[in-house]
Amino acid sequence: MSSQVDKVQAYRKEEESKIEQQFLKGNRDEDLGVYIDVFSAKSSVEGQNGGVVTALLQKGLREGLFDVAIVARRMQGYTAQAVVADNAEAALQFKGTTYVKVNVSKKLRELLGQGKRRIAVVCTPCEIKAVRKIQQTIGKEAGVLVIGLFCFEAFNPAKLKEELGKRGIDLEKAEKTEINRGKFTATVNSEATMCRVKDIEAASEPFCRFCNDFVSRLADVSVGSIGSRQGYSTVIVRSPAGEQLVKGNDFAKDTVDKREIAKLVWFKCERAEKRFADLNPQA
């Protein structure tokens, strides 16, 4: 067993290195990964954490940097699915964050099968690697741009509803949900109720505990709230395609607290190492 686990970890590192070399550019940081620039931003779009992701999608669609964008849309019952935005207005309609796993790579394959090639994908770290592998298979014809989200873990919808229900929160009635600084906040009838993310750990997806990527290290642009003040997002630019997408936006900018990001990076890495160690007791 120990040999198999070691091989899996070594293979994962090798694959990530190949993706970095093929798609990314910049200096390597132990916590942030490969990047060209990092800053805190707030857009003119009214949205969660400054509406930065929506602003990037709108710019890309308006300027023809990509023809369509794959995003997660919240559905009834606090589930989510991958949907396609083909114009700036649709990107605005689908704004907002869900905290459940969404299979965007399946939707990407569908679009590629339809002959689409210039596609933006918004997703979490676990899906990014699948997207990059598809790019490697298709080759240079696939002009895919990846906007990665900071992600500590995703939740199982049924278990999340159960855990929050114990705390008096009806998730299905929530107009908005947000995770920020260790707190899960649900807004129902304009009233916000929060609890510690740690207290609803039982609702997280088991596979998330083996993931060591908090900042979407393999994306063209990574976006998340950690490291920025309230109402702003941290933006990490990792590739020439990411530079082009970020350039020219009317963002209000601020500084980033890298130490705050590092804390979550280290914690997630340590958790993943512990999970692998549990599979590898003789290591």
Select from 176, 207, 145 the least CA-distant residue to 78: 176
Cβ atoms within 10 Å, residue 80: 21
Select from 138, 137, 109, 139 the least CA-distant residue to 121: 109
Alpha carbons 259 and 278: distance in angstroms, whole number: 29
pLDDT-based confidence at residue 177 (cuts at 50, 70, 90): confident
Instruction: Please check whether residue 113 lies inside any domain of the structure.
Output: yes
Instruction: Please check whether residue 124 lies inside any domain of the structure.
Output: yes
Instruction: Please check whether residue 179 lies inside any domain of the structure.
Output: no
173: CB partners within 8 A, 6+ apart: 188, 189
Instruction: Please check whether residue 190 lies inside any domain of the structure.
Output: no
Is it the case that residue 219 has pLDDT exceeding 90? Answer: yes
The tally of domains found in the chain comes to 1
DSSP 129: H
pTM: 0.91
- 8 A C-beta contact, residue 105 and residue 127: yes
Instruction: Please check whether residue 249 lies inside any domain of the structure.
Output: yes
Q: Which domain holds residue 128?
A: 2-154+205-279
Instruction: Please check whether residue 75 lies inside any domain of the structure.
Output: yes
pLDDT-based confidence at residue 62 (cuts at 50, 70, 90): very high
Residue 37 phi, psi dihedral angles, 5° rounding: -150, 150
Instruction: Please check whether residue 225 lies inside any domain of the structure.
Output: yes
DSSP 50: G
Q: Residue 278: its pLDDT value, please? A: 77
Cβ atoms within 10 Å, residue 89: 10
Lowest mean pLDDT among 40-44, 45-49, 222-226: 45-49
Strand arrangement, sheet containing 176-180: 176-180, 183-188, 191-196
